[in-house]
Amino acid sequence: MTQVVLNALHVKQQCLNAACASSYPVSEVRTGCAACGELLDVVYDFPADYVSRNNLAGFAAFTARGATVAKRSPAGLMPTNQAALDFSGVWRFRELLPFYADPSRIVTIGEGRTILQRADHLACEIGIDLSGGGELHLQYEGFNPSGSFKDNGMAAGFTHARMVGAKRVACASTGNTSAAMAVYGSLTGMAVYVFIGEGKIAYGKLSQALEYGAKTLQVAGDFDACLARVREIAENRPEVGIYLMNSVNPFRLEGQKTIMYRILEGLGWEVPDWIVVPGGNLGNCSAFGKAFIELKALGLIDRIPRLAIIQAEGSRTLDRVVNELGVKWTPAACETSSRCKGCERPASCAQSCLRGTYDRATVQAEYARMNRDNERAHTIATAIEINRPVNLSKALRALHAMNGVVRSVSDAEIVENKALAGKWGFGCEPASGASVAGVRMLMNEGIITPKDRVACVLTGHVLKDPDVTVGYHTGVNTKSAAVDLTGSKPTGRVSNPPIRVADDLELILKAMGV
């Protein structure tokens, strides 16, 4: 098996707060920094010859692994063989997330075999100039085993859980995290506890958690309340032995970095102009930022794409914090070199690039105001219906490293753009539609130009939330009891309702309109 040239001495968990910078071994289970409460990163001290010794230059080795058809070890079980690692869209990039000690104990269920598709029809529809070099690509994460991008993170999170001997895992979820965690739990034999908010989860996702045998607790509260509770149990009730799988877990985000590697791979290892992603708890965008900081620091890419994080209007905390309150990330001063390979700014370095500061007091004051005003997230895209995104600080870092922007789009724009992506062959769930809506908005603003190469992450499969889709096409709210889908009038731009017709050949042909 390919051996990564790193050992435990070179990998640690480190607080991103520059003023603190406490570090902890990867063998410890932590949901945040013990000293200051900030988020932790998995930080690698890559040796100078890391790229050459592992033959990473040109990325060709990764792509070759993806073509493996050799017999694989069983999903989720040990020992994991090399074919299973090479087959995984996460672990074939294992040299870029080398926190594990023993490759045969890595967890994989065949995640991350997702595709970057060029979407020319949709590109034309939204005004990308194909003949002028513009391109729209959709990174379709719905092809994961549980139907969303979360599997990338779970492969890494469960690998760490196995490293530390965890038996019970838990998360709060708007649906996809729980679906992904439940399938990994069932295949690895770990007990799974899911906390969901009342009435806040799409049925496609709930059905997965139930089917895979997760103990599912429907807490009388929203996602934020669920996360606070499950965190409390993980942190303050050690006797329960809960390993937390939410994205405050830095190992999960290591797996989600690979979405970016696959986008680059799909572009022949060329860097696009834009990465566009929906933002909820802000784990994904955080992982993307870290991925690019590290690739740049390793010298594997020569420039970093810009990042657009798209929120729902009814759930736009980051948008407010950045665009109205002016909160920004300030990276730590460099410790080792005069010019940062990671972010290109002078007087910094890749490792200290990960550390920095921001105006925490303003963010806390905003949270207090939201509480006072009883302001609660509400959007049709339940996946991103979140008041206090736990990865806010890492998202600020990603925005800084990737020269990013944040926008929010209305529910109407979300469903229209979701439907358009679907009409042109890329069905996705509402939250994913936000990213397409975001591209449109940024094009209208002249920030994304028609000649840009844009890669949009479609985070979840169209079957995750059939109620929204059927509702859009029929005009009927399918969540309310048994309904007749043929009588009402939908109002969407590309609504495509079923046609009621008698059981009569001629009438059927007429209805077919052929």
Spatial strand order of the sheet with 215-219 comes to 215-219, 191-197, 168-173, 242-244
Examine residue 282 and tell whether it contacts ligand F0G (CB under 6 A): yes
DSSP state of 424: T
CA–CA separation, 25 vs 352, rounded Å? 18
Residue among 192, 228, 188 nearest 213 (CA): 192
54 or 286, CB closer to ligand F0G?
A: 286
72 or 205, CB closer to ligand F0G?
A: 205
Nearest approach, Cβ of 76 to ligand F0G (angstroms)?
Answer: 20
- Which residue is associated with the tokens 């077919």? 512
Nearest approach, Cβ of 173 to ligand F0G (angstroms)?
Answer: 3
CA–CA separation, 68 vs 53, rounded Å? 22
Q: Which amino acid is at 36?
A: C
Kindly calculate the radius of gyration of the chain based on its CA atoms and give it in whole angstroms. 22
Q: Which of residues 260-279 bind ligand F0G (CB under 6 A)?
A: 278-279
Examine residue 176 and tell whether it contacts ligand F0G (CB under 6 A): yes
Q: What DSSP string runs through 315-376?
A: B-HHHIIIIIT----EEPPPSS-SB-TTT--BS--HHHHT-EE--HHHHHHHHHHHHHTT--
Residue among 89, 98, 145, 280 that touches ligand F0G (CB under 6 A): 280
Nearest approach, Cβ of 159 to ligand F0G (angstroms)?
Answer: 19
Among 25-33, 167-175, 360-368, 473-481, which window interacts with ligand F0G (CB under 6 A)? 167-175
Residue among 14, 54, 393, 432 that touches ligand F0G (CB under 6 A): 432
174 or 417, CB closer to ligand F0G?
A: 174
**Please, which residues bridge with residue 460 across strands?**
148
Examine residue 146 and tell whether it contacts ligand F0G (CB under 6 A): no
Residue among 177, 249, 351, 357 that touches ligand F0G (CB under 6 A): 177
Examine residue 173 and tell whether it contacts ligand F0G (CB under 6 A): yes
CA–CA separation, 120 vs 463, rounded Å? 23
Nearest approach, Cβ of 388 to ligand F0G (angstroms)?
Answer: 12
59 or 472, CB closer to ligand F0G?
A: 472
Examine residue 315 and tell whether it contacts ligand F0G (CB under 6 A): no
CA–CA separation, 235 vs 68, rounded Å? 41
**Strand residues in 70-162 grouped as ranges (E):** 115-118, 135-140
108 or 432, CB closer to ligand F0G?
A: 432
Q: Which of residues 343-402 bind ligand F0G (CB under 6 A)?
A: 383-384
Among 173-181, 213-221, 346-354, 474-482, which window interacts with ligand F0G (CB under 6 A)? 173-181
**Please, which residues bridge with residue 456 across strands?**
138, 276
Examine residue 438 and tell whether it contacts ligand F0G (CB under 6 A): no
Cβ atoms of 245 and 169 within 8 Å: the answer is yes
CA–CA separation, 14 vs 12, rounded Å? 6
Size of the site for ligand F0G (CB under 6 A): 21
CA–CA separation, 504 vs 446, rounded Å? 53
Among 100-108, 281-289, 402-410, 479-487, which window interacts with ligand F0G (CB under 6 A)? 281-289
Examine residue 431 and tell whether it contacts ligand F0G (CB under 6 A): yes
Residues that bind ligand F0G (CB under 6 A): 148, 173-177, 247, 278-284, 383-384, 429, 431-432, 459-460
